[in-house]
């Protein structure tokens, strides 16, 4: 019971702060509160810490050079202020894994969860940093240059950022796992030192395992997202400015369908890529 109260208090603090900083809408704030409470109440610091890390870094990066992004964001379905749907799109699968773990404890849930979160982090970091790339992105399918902000476009900066985000989640999984096992700051510091010195303790090997699980699954998830974005995702063409966009209204006018499957919107693409990342992380976790 105490865990649920601590979780609710921490979640309240974070979601209200994010609302005030304009990172969340009102519905986004409510969703983040529920999610954070469950992550700590049904889970522990491992689950809550990873969620918080994803959330804080994504919110920070979405503020990067806001003006230019705001222009780009008009062609995305997302905007800087995340609503409940977007909060659940990124953290909902992780919440299900957390609840699954509480009901039927098994390490497979943790791998699945790290895959979901590494995928969400890689995709968000890649989108935010890729939006700052000076060179236009290339289509992940045809390798042709695309206008900035197009679904399915990848840039070197965005890809590197995505990989970095995925690796960070893997490293954080290791830290929060040891922490959850009762390691104090001193122990953690010693374990990090062990990793730097390449010693062959069980903890160091575990570090590399989590790095592989998070890094590979997250990067693969972001790649699947781009691949689906370039192929099956429903896209529209703006009748005013002629841009290819994800949204039904652009330049204050309804857009025309261009390609893709009717129900394959940005949220569905997101969900499928996270499921892919989760499956890959699960497989790696069991194999390695």
- Residue closer to Zn ion, measured from CB, 9 or 241: 241
Cα-based distances in Å from 152 to 85, 178, 246, 274, 278: 21, 37, 11, 16, 20
Of 43-51, 109-117, 211-219, 232-240, the segment contacting Zn ion by CB under 5 A is: 232-240
- Residue closer to Zn ion, measured from CB, 213 or 245: 245
Cβ of residue 75: shortest distance to Zn ion, in angstroms?
8
195 touches Zn ion by CB under 5 A: no
Interface residue with Zn ion among 9, 13, 240, 249 (CB under 5 A) is 240
Cα-based distances in Å from 131 to 14, 76, 251, 256, 272: 26, 12, 20, 25, 23
Q: Say which residues have a Cβ less than 8 Å from residue 53's Cβ, sequence separation at least 6.
A: 121, 168, 169, 172
- Residue closer to Zn ion, measured from CB, 135 or 256: 256
Assess contact for 4 and 41: CB atoms under 8 A. yes
Of 81-89, 175-183, 242-250, 266-274, the segment contacting Zn ion by CB under 5 A is: 242-250
Cβ of residue 239: shortest distance to Zn ion, in angstroms?
8
251 touches Zn ion by CB under 5 A: yes
Interface residue with Zn ion among 118, 238, 274, 277 (CB under 5 A) is 238
Cβ of residue 241: shortest distance to Zn ion, in angstroms?
3
286 touches Zn ion by CB under 5 A: no
- Residue closer to Zn ion, measured from CB, 105 or 257: 257
248 touches Zn ion by CB under 5 A: no
- Residue closer to Zn ion, measured from CB, 241 or 248: 241
- The closest of 221, 72, 219, 61 to 128, measured between CA atoms, is 61
193 touches Zn ion by CB under 5 A: no
Binding site for Zn ion (CB under 5 A): 238, 240-241, 250-251
């Amino acid at each position: 019971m105490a865990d649920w109260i601590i979780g609710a208090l921490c979640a309240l603090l974070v979601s209200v702060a994010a609302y005030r900083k304009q990172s969340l809408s009102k519905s986004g704030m409510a969703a983040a509160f529920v999610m954070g409470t469950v992550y700590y109440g049904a889970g522990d610091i491992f689950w809550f810490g990873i969620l918080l890390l994803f959330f804080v870094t994504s919110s920070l990066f979405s503020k990067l050079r806001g003006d230019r992004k705001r222009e780009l964001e008009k062609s995305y379905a997302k905007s800087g202020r995340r609503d409940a749907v977007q909060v659940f799109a990124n953290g909902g699968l992780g919440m299900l894994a957390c609840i699954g773990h509480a009901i039927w404890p098994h390490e497979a849930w943790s791998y699945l969860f790290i895959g979901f979160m590494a995928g969400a982090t890689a995709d968000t970091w890649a989108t935010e940093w890729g939006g700052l790339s000076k060179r236009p992105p290339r289509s992940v399918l045809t390798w042709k240059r695309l206008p900035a902000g197009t679904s399915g476009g990848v840039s070197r900066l965005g890809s590197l950022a995505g990989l970095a985000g995925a690796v960070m989640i893997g490293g954080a999984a290791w830290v929060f796992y040891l922490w959850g096992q009762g390691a104090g700051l001193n122990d953690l510091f010693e374990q990090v030192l062990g990793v730097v010195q390449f010693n062959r303790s069980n903890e160091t090997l575990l570090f590399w395992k989590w790095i592989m699980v998070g890094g590979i699954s997250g990067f693969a998830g972001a790649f699947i997202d781009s691949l689906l974005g370039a192929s099956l995702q429903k896209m529209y063409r703006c009748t005013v400015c002629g841009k290819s966009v994800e949204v039904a209204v652009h330049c204050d006018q309804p857009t025309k369908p261009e390609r893709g499957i009717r129900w394959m919107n940005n949220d569905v693409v997101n969900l499928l890529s996270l499921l892919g990342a989760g499956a890959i992380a699960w497989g790696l976790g069991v194999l390695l």
